[in-house]
Amino acid sequence: MNNSRLLRKIYRLIRKYDRIVITRHIGPDPDALGSQLGLKEAILTKFPNKQVYAVGAPASTFRYIGQLDKFNEDLYNNSLLIVLDTPDLKRVDDVNPVKFKESIKIDHHPFVEKFCKYEYIDDTASSASQIVLELIYKTPLKITTEIAKKLFVGIIADTNRFLFKYTTPKTFTLVSKMIKDTNLDFTEEYNHLYLKPLKEKRFQGFIADNMIVTENGFGYMKVTDEMLKKYNVDAATAGNMVNSFNYINEIYAWAIFSEDKNIDLIRGSIRSRGPIINDVAAQFGGGGHVFASGVRLKTDEEIDKLVIELDKVCKEYKEREEN
Minimum distance between the CB of residue 110 and Mn ion, rounded to whole angstroms? 12
Q: Least Å distance between CB 34 and Mn ion?
A: 9
Lay out the site mask for Mn ion across 159-198 (x = CB under 5 A, - = otherwise): ----------------------------------------
SS3 percent helix, strand, coil of the chain, rounded to 5, is 50, 20, 35
Q: Looking at beta carbons only, is 36 or 182 nearer to Mn ion?
A: 36
Residue 93 touching Mn ion (CB under 5 A) = no
SS3 272: strand
Does position 85 bind Mn ion by CB under 5 A?
yes
Calculated CA dihedral for residues 186, 190, 193, 198, nearest 10 degrees: -160
We find the least distance from the C-beta atom of residue 167 to Mn ion, in angstroms, to be 13
Give 248 or 290: the residue with its C-beta nearer to Mn ion: 290
Q: Which residue is nearest to Mn ion (CB)?
A: 31
Min dist CB 230 to Mn ion, Å, is: 31
| Terminal Cα distance for the chain, rounded | 43
Give the residue with the Cβ less far from Mn ion, 31 or 260.
31
Q: Is 107 in the site for Mn ion (CB under 5 A)?
A: no
Beta carbon of residue 201, minimum distance to Mn ion (angstroms, whole number): 25
Question: Is residue 31 close enough to count as binding Mn ion by CB under 5 A?
Answer: yes
CA separation for the pair 29, 14 (Å, rounded): 24
Asked if residue 91 lies in contact with residue 134, where contact means CB atoms within 8 angstroms, the answer is no
The span of 77-85, 133-141, 253-261, 296-304 binding Mn ion (CB under 5 A) equals 77-85
Tell the smallest beta-carbon distance from residue 84 to Mn ion (Å): 8
**In the complex, minimum distance from the CB of residue 68 to Mn ion, in angstroms, rounded to a whole number:** 17
Beta carbons of 265 and 223 less than 8 angstroms apart: no
- How far apart, in whole angstroms, are the C-alpha atoms of residue 89 and residue 25? 9
Q: Using the rule CB under 5 A, is 158 a contact of Mn ion?
A: yes
d(CA 180, CA 53): 29
Strands 51-54 and 80-84: unpaired
Q: Is 56 left (phi over 0), alpha (psi -120 to 50) or beta?
A: left
The residue (of 127 and 272) whose beta carbon lies closer to Mn ion is: 127
Size of the site for Mn ion (CB under 5 A): 5
The answer for residues whose C-beta is within 8 angstroms of residue 210's C-beta and 6 or more apart is: 221
Q: What is the binding site for Mn ion (CB under 5 A)?
A: 31, 85, 127-128, 158
